[in-house]
Amino acid sequence: MGRITLDKVSKSFGDVQVIPPLDLTIDDGEFTVFVGPSGCGKSTLLRLIAGLEDVSSGQIRIDKQDATYVPPAKRGLAMVFQSYALYPHMSVRKNIAFPMRMAKVPAEEQNRRIEAAANALNLTDYLDRRPGQLSGGQRQRVAIGRAIVREPSAFLFDEPLSNLDAALRVGMRLEISELHERLETTMIYVTHDQVEAMTMADKIVVLQAGVIEQVGSPLELYHTPRNKFVAGFIGSPK
């Protein structure tokens, strides 16, 4: 569960092609980072995988099934945004429960998953608070908790830490890496931050203007960057 394949996927907005046809395979359980400068198409690529945008051409497969025209809620993926997108009038518990309520998960099972997620994310003491009563890091944990309880086959993160201050960001990176080790679920993580890419990824996809410049492990990219752009962006000496 959690293998994602893009086959000649492209995306245009009107006359502007922001992603020329590209191929990409994300293996089951892998932590893949999409990295590249602002405007290079990272979010668009993630939204295509999530189904929040339709492809202009090509095919998306999730676990060997053609998912190209499957609606977002049926893809078995969970997306975590930079802006948290929490409901301010609901408690943490209700925010986390929300996707399960929509999916009509039985109440006992909802409680079991909420306890497990709260435990994993150190939120047990905050379940009855509202988002406004939490720190930025805690809010981001609630957003992640809301993704976990869906038991997705993959997590999609779009710059989830860019609203946090530098010190908090380092801690949250570690938490997300630990979560990946614990769950062993596929994670795709979008960032423009090279340090995040190098420290978190199993595999890095370097994008420039919608084109994949190179795919490889952090060490591969560092030691054998394919071109000047990758070398410059990754901070390799070559």
Interface residues with ligand ADP (CB under 6 A)? 13, 18, 36, 38-44
Indicate which of Mg ion, ligand ADP, none lies near residue 41 (CB less than 5 to 8 Å, by partner kind): ligand ADP
C-beta of 224: minimal distance to Mg ion in Å?
Answer: 27
Beta strands in the chain (DSSP E): 4-13, 16-26, 31-35, 57-62, 65-66, 77-81, 154-158, 186-191, 203-208, 211-216
Residue 160 in contact with residue 81, Cβ under 8 Å? yes
Indicate which of ligand ADP, Mg ion, none lies near residue 44 (CB less than 5 to 8 Å, by partner kind): ligand ADP
CA distance 73 to 70: 8
Indicate which of ligand ADP, Mg ion, none lies near residue 87 (CB less than 5 to 8 Å, by partner kind): none
C-beta of 16: minimal distance to ligand ADP in Å?
Answer: 7
Nearest one of 215, 219, 222, 227 to 237, comparing CA atoms: 222
Interface residues with Mg ion (CB under 5 A)? 43
Indicate which of ligand ADP, Mg ion, none lies near residue 38 (CB less than 5 to 8 Å, by partner kind): ligand ADP
Q: What does DSSP assign to residue 130?
A: -
Please say which residue, 98 or 229, places its beta carbon nearer to ligand ADP: 229
